[in-house]
């Protein structure tokens, strides 16, 4: 796991698994952890790392309901978990789904965890909306569906940082998961563009944080890919730098979902 300080009040942790990101933010003696790393040793290391760096943890936030973004409770079992209304509704509709997906991953990778994942009660947050942090700062919550049926992007205006969930990844194609939709994904990218234009740092759900210029390039590439996917299906060209065998498999699944939707 890599730890990257992108602002005095923002640390991004990048997991060795799928380069999943976990973002710690602080202001005025309070702090949140957005999303999570994946491996047990990484989760065990997070509390000490943040404590040594002077980052308090007042609660947890999730960008969406995929299991690899919900593991903060394993690192901070007593912390409250907040998420956008769409994610809260998804988790209520799919009780136990995240735990089953985590268990399947662990069995495949021969991973033994000390404790099971317990999400407990979840605080749903209005989106669009604002969440106070400290006495002077607010986090803006923006809708970000399309990858899945749910999703929230978090804009930190005092730090000029956008935590956007599974969008604008330098290592992964746009993924149209079950419940997601190509047109909704494209709408989310278009809606995020003004925030990307203002941001100094963009934190994707997978991959290292991106600067403003590179994120805008990714945004244009992703919109072009989605357009080609909609018109050409499985023959659509993949974006430069994201043409590995794994990304070709993701593309084939995208084309299948778009064709059958």
Helix axes 182-198, 212-232, angle to 10 degrees: 160
CATH code of the domain covering residue 156 = 3.60.15.10
User: What's the rounded Cα separation, in Å, for the pair 23 and 3?
Assistant: 10
Buried b (16+ CB within 10 A) or exposed e, 186-222: bebbeebeebbeebebbbbbbbbbbebeebbebbebb
User: What's the rounded Cα separation, in Å, for the pair 35 and 152?
Assistant: 11
**pLDDT tens profile 194-242:** 999 999 999 999 999 999 999 999 999 999 999 999 999 999 999 999 9
User: What's the rounded Cα separation, in Å, for the pair 111 and 68?
Assistant: 14
The whole domain housing 169 covers 2-260
Buried b (16+ CB within 10 A) or exposed e, 41-79: ebbebbeebbeeeebebebbbbbbbbbbbbbbbbbbeeb
175: part of which helix (H) or strand (E)? none
- Which among 119, 62, 59, 118 is positioned nearest to 87, based on CA atoms? 62
How many folded domains does the chain comprise?
A: 1
**Quick one: pLDDT at residue 259?**
80
**Quick one: pLDDT at residue 238?**
96
- Which among 25, 30, 19 is positioned nearest to 6, based on CA atoms? 25
- How far from 72 is each of 67, 68, 170, 245, CA to CA, in Å? 10, 9, 24, 30
Residue-wise DSSP of 11-33: EEEE-SSTTBEEEEEEETTEEEE
- How far from 83 is each of 60, 61, 62, 114, 213, CA to CA, in Å? 8, 6, 5, 25, 29
User: What's the rounded Cα separation, in Å, for the pair 218 and 38?
Assistant: 25
Q: Quick check: 152 and 84 in contact, CB under 8 A? A: yes
Name residues whose C-beta falls within 8 Å of residue 52's C-beta, 6 or more positions apart in sequence: none
User: What's the rounded Cα separation, in Å, for the pair 196 and 153?
Assistant: 11
**Quick one: pLDDT at residue 260?**
72
User: What's the rounded Cα separation, in Å, for the pair 156 and 137?
Assistant: 8
Mean pLDDT per 10-residue segment, the chain (261 residues): 96 97 95 97 97 96 98 95 97 95 96 92 95 93 97 97 98 94 97 97 98 97 97 94 96 90 63
């Amino acid at each position: 796991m890599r730890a990257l300080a992108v602002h005095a009040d923002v640390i991004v942790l990048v997991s060795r698994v799928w380069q999943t990101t976990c973002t710690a933010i602080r202001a005025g003696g309070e702090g949140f952890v957005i999303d999570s790393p994946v491996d047990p040793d990484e989760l065990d290391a997070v509390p000490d790392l943040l404590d040594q760096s002077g980052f308090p943890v007042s609660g947890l936030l999730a960008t969406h309901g995929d299991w690899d973004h919900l593991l903060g409770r394993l690192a901070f079992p007593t912390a409250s978990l907040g998420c956008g209304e769409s994610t809260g509704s998804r988790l209520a509709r799919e009780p136990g789904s995240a735990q089953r997906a985590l268990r399947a991953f662990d069995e495949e990778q021969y991973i033994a965890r000390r404790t099971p994942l317990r999400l407990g009660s979840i605080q749903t947050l209005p989106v669009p909306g604002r969440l106070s942090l400290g006495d002077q700062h607010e986090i803006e919550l923006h809708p970000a569906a399309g990858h899945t049926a749910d999703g929230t992007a978090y804009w930190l205006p005092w730090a000029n940082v956008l935590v956007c969930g599974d969008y604008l990844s330098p290592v992964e194609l746009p993924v149209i998961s079950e419940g997601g939709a190509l047109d909704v994904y494209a709408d989310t990218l278009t809606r995020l563009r003004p925030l990307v234009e203002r941001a100094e740092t963009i934190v994707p759900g997978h991959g290292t944080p991106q600067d403003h210029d590179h994120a805008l390039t990714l945004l244009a590439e992703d919109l072009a890919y989605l357009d080609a996917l909609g018109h050409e299906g499985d023959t659509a060209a993949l974006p430069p730098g994201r043409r590995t065998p794994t990304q070709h498999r993701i593309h084939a699944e995208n084309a299948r979902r778009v064709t059958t939707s």
